[in-house]
Amino acid sequence: MSTIYDIVVAGGGHAGIEAALAAARLGLKTALVTLRKDTIGKMSCNPAIGGLAKGHLVREIDALGGEMAKIIDATGIHFKMLNRSKGPAVWSPRAQADRLAYMKEAQRRVLSQPGLTVIEGSVNGLVVKQGRVAAAVLEDGSVIPCRALILSAGTFLNGRIHIGLSNFESGRAGEKAVKGLTEQLRALGFETGRLKTGTPPRIHRDSIDYSKVIEQVPDNPPTPFSFQTEKIDRPQLSCYITYTTAETHEYLRAGLDRSPLYTGVIKAVGPRYCPSIEDKIVRFADKGRHQIFLEPEGFDNPEVYVNGFSTSLPEDVQLAALRSVPGLERAHIIRLGYAVEYDFFPSFQLKHTLETKLVENLYFAGQINGTSGYEEAAAQGLIAGINAVLKLLDREPLVLDRSEAYIAVLIDDLINKTILEPYRMFTSRAEFRLLLRQDNADLRLMEKGYRIGLLPEPVYERMLRKREQIRELERYLQDHSLSPERFNPLAERMGSAPIRVSTPLRQLVKRPEIRLSDLLALMEDAAAFPREVVAQVEFSTKYEGYLKRQQDLVEKFRRMENRVLPEDLDYDRVPSLSAESREKLKQIRPRSLGQASRISGVRHSDIAVLMVYLEKYHRDRDYVSRETVS
């Protein structure tokens, strides 16, 4: 009889790492099953963490006590805060990683984690007893008994790689696919679909003519991802920008007859926000050039990632097209670009805890839920890991709502929206964007991370101090004024109107051209407030009106979320629902009217019908109980 694990995590990618570490740290006996130990934490595509909206996810993972931010802080070679020219709500950190170092750091953390066993192999099946997970079955037939199973298999399920018209089974370049698991899950009643994603060629850094490309320098000093990282002192590298030419487009166009995309060999849908280069020249034929980022993959790694040039065209076309790009005339390809098709499970089959509705204690996380991106995967891994533990310990689940975190937007969208292409996070998906900033992820989520038991107490206490200081500073601005003599010189310097009477600081900060730090510098008795405290207060004061309107929308949202739909609600008995809405509602079984209103395919008018029915349902119950009393 082999050991019984509390939790088995299948897949050692970014989702698997978070899930396994969270489970083990919360004290449960955990096993991570991965094909090879030395590919744990591999960055299969872009060698970067973060980016617009994705950076928010990483900060949230960190605030809950997850790992990703710390790994990238330890291994980043090019940090940049994106969108600095916009408002603080959409600033987002991004960093190029030293790809090998990232992988090694992730492995170090996983392999040194007490209570976490790493097993080399692949989960090709599972044992379900009485509707509940009982064991994971490996390819070699061995059975690992477990109480919960988290599936984070990435692109490996029936993965098929395409380069030109040739294709072969593979989960990732050079690695074998996982077969049989999808089939078994389908037999258990799961619905599956196919998605496609792609990756560009990697070229040798010494084969680039750097005189013809534009250098992009990293931020100095770099801003860390983790609230726990004091400072980043690794040496940094530059990225480079170049553009495709008319000649490039000709080569690509000439190769279309051997494109698996355009000859119908690939049937699955790829992401619209990350189209292949051949897709770009076809769909946007009148665009004369496309931007390409050349991203180094590390100090000891000569590979350069050709961002913007994802392709599944044959080798000769890839090379010819690439070499027509300024700076890449003598490019040497180390690895070819390719497209990969894989199985995914539409997430309407999941609860908000990421547990499947069909099989108890079975969780899905990451790309198999139809997402793309390391950050999206890691966020799901963390949530699945935490909830698997909480459930086994009979504790309240962790379910965030859309006004609390991007992570919640991600999961809620996955469950309610019909996934037709790999899902990527965007700030525009977050309707409460002004509240969900990367700079306040700690204030939003650390309390939860701490209560769950993942976030160390000192970190939590530091956040509490920050919160207290924010209140102090707010009070200070309310209670203190500046006289015209003191303020007007600053006003003149900043092109702001002079004041005639002593004016509260709170009012002065509201002027767009006046910085809070400058005002505080004029005060003799002002205590020194940390920069991040000043930034929080400055934002909440300057944008007070907008935040108020945003808050109104949150209230409206909450009211709908609080209209809970009874678990025993029989949609077949609700009159007047349209057939499509009825089908979707039965499939997803939303928790609330609010959720129901976000389901793709549920008509607006049907929400009203549901509202009516719900009210009737409740009043009938009250009515019955009143009748019984009297």
> Which residue, 53 or 333, is less far from another protein as judged by CB?
53
Region binding another protein by CB under 8 A among candidate stretches 134-142, 225-233, 564-572, 614-622: 614-622
The helix-helix angle for 68-75 and 99-111 (nearest 10°) equals 130
Using CB under 8 A, pick the residue from 478, 483, 576, 625 that binds another protein: 576
What's the residue count for the chain?
630
Please, are residues 190 and 347 in contact by the beta-carbon 8 Å criterion?
no
609: closest CA among 571, 558, 556? 571
Using CB under 8 A, pick the residue from 378, 434, 470, 477 that binds another protein: 434
The reply to whether 275 sits near another protein by the rule CB under 8 A is: yes
- Hey, CA dihedral for 459, 536, 475, 403, is it positive or negative? negative
The reply to whether 550 sits near another protein by the rule CB under 8 A is: yes
The two three-digit tokens of residue 289, written as one number = 């050039």
* Angstrom distance (rounded) from CA 445 to CA 40: 27
Task: Report strand pairing: 123-129 vs 132-138.
Answer: antiparallel
If phi over 0 gives left and psi between -120 and 50 gives alpha, with beta otherwise, what is residue 461? alpha
Region binding another protein by CB under 8 A among candidate stretches 77-85, 100-108, 115-123, 530-538: 77-85
Shortest approach of another protein to residue 552 CB, angstroms?
9
Which residues fall within 8 angstroms of residue 281, CB to CB, at 6 or more apart?
249, 252, 253, 287, 290
Using CB under 8 A, pick the residue from 104, 395, 467, 603 that binds another protein: 603
Region binding another protein by CB under 8 A among candidate stretches 15-23, 47-55, 151-159, 223-231: 47-55
User: DSSP letter at 176?
Assistant: P
Distances, alpha carbon 373 to alpha carbons 10, 32, 191, 406, in Å? 18, 21, 22, 14
- How does DSSP assign 367-413, residue by residue? GGGTB-SHHHHHHHHHHHHHHHHHHHTT-------TTT-HHHHHHHH
Region binding another protein by CB under 8 A among candidate stretches 185-193, 328-336, 496-504, 608-616: 608-616
Instruction: Find how far residue 477's CA is from the centre of its chain.
Output: 36
The reply to whether 597 sits near another protein by the rule CB under 8 A is: yes
222: closest CA among 209, 239, 206, 235? 235
> Which residue, 398 or 425, is less far from another protein as judged by CB?
425
Please, are residues 357 and 363 in contact by the beta-carbon 8 Å criterion?
no
* Angstrom distance (rounded) from CA 49 to CA 69: 9
The reply to whether 608 sits near another protein by the rule CB under 8 A is: yes
Integer distance in angstroms from the first to the last C-alpha of the chain?
A: 62
The reply to whether 575 sits near another protein by the rule CB under 8 A is: yes
User: Cβ atoms within 10 A of the Cβ of 483, count?
Assistant: 12
- Total interface residues for another protein by CB under 8 A: 62
Shortest approach of another protein to residue 273 CB, angstroms?
5
Region binding another protein by CB under 8 A among candidate stretches 113-121, 329-337, 496-504, 604-612: 604-612
The reply to whether 142 sits near another protein by the rule CB under 8 A is: no
The reply to whether 427 sits near another protein by the rule CB under 8 A is: yes
Mask: binding to another protein, 276-295, rule CB under 8 A, as x and -?
Answer: ---xx--xx--x-xxx-x--
The reply to whether 621 sits near another protein by the rule CB under 8 A is: no
The two three-digit tokens of residue 217, written as one number = 């320098």
The reply to whether 598 sits near another protein by the rule CB under 8 A is: yes
354: closest CA among 417, 424, 419, 415? 415
Region binding another protein by CB under 8 A among candidate stretches 142-150, 169-177, 314-322, 598-606: 598-606
Using CB under 8 A, pick the residue from 52, 68, 213, 319 that binds another protein: 52
The reply to whether 347 sits near another protein by the rule CB under 8 A is: no
Shortest approach of another protein to residue 83 CB, angstroms?
6
Side chain identity at residue 574, one-letter code: V
> Which residue, 418 or 483, is less far from another protein as judged by CB?
418
Please, are residues 115 and 32 in contact by the beta-carbon 8 Å criterion?
no
The two three-digit tokens of residue 61, written as one number = 């993972």
Shortest approach of another protein to residue 434 CB, angstroms?
6
> Which residue, 395 or 511, is less far from another protein as judged by CB?
511
The reply to whether 609 sits near another protein by the rule CB under 8 A is: yes
Helix (H) or strand (E) holding 551: helix 544-561
Using CB under 8 A, pick the residue from 90, 136, 144, 535 that binds another protein: 90
> Which residue, 191 or 615, is less far from another protein as judged by CB?
615
Using CB under 8 A, pick the residue from 272, 330, 451, 475 that binds another protein: 272
The reply to whether 166 sits near another protein by the rule CB under 8 A is: no
* Angstrom distance (rounded) from CA 429 to CA 410: 8
Exposure string of 422-451, with b = 16+ CB inside 10 Å and e = fewer, is: bbbbebebbbbbbbbbbbbbbbbbbbbbbe
Shortest approach of another protein to residue 409 CB, angstroms?
9
> Which residue, 133 or 411, is less far from another protein as judged by CB?
411
Instruction: Find how far residue 436's CA is from the centre of its chain.
Output: 14
> Which residue, 142 or 428, is less far from another protein as judged by CB?
428
Side chain identity at residue 131, one-letter code: G
* Angstrom distance (rounded) from CA 595 to CA 588: 10
Shortest approach of another protein to residue 533 CB, angstroms?
21
The reply to whether 210 sits near another protein by the rule CB under 8 A is: no
The two three-digit tokens of residue 455, written as one number = 């976030």
Shortest approach of another protein to residue 117 CB, angstroms?
38
Shortest approach of another protein to residue 556 CB, angstroms?
9
Using CB under 8 A, pick the residue from 21, 82, 110, 379 that binds another protein: 82
15: closest CA among 59, 57, 55, 68? 68
Helix, strand, coil % in the chain, rounded to nearest 5: 40, 20, 40
The reply to whether 307 sits near another protein by the rule CB under 8 A is: yes
Using CB under 8 A, pick the residue from 604, 628, 629, 630 that binds another protein: 604
The reply to whether 601 sits near another protein by the rule CB under 8 A is: no
Region binding another protein by CB under 8 A among candidate stretches 18-26, 302-310, 450-458, 524-532: 302-310
> Which residue, 14 or 563, is less far from another protein as judged by CB?
563
Please, are residues 83 and 427 in contact by the beta-carbon 8 Å criterion?
no
The reply to whether 625 sits near another protein by the rule CB under 8 A is: no
Using CB under 8 A, pick the residue from 330, 451, 471, 549 that binds another protein: 549
Cis omega before residue 221 (within 30°)?
Answer: yes
Interface contacts to another protein, rule CB under 8 A: 46, 51-53, 82-83, 85-87, 89-90, 243, 272-275, 279-280, 283-284, 287, 289-291, 293, 307-308, 310, 417, 426-431, 433-434, 512, 543, 546, 549-550, 553, 574-576, 597-598, 600, 603-606, 608-609, 611-613, 615-616, 619, 623
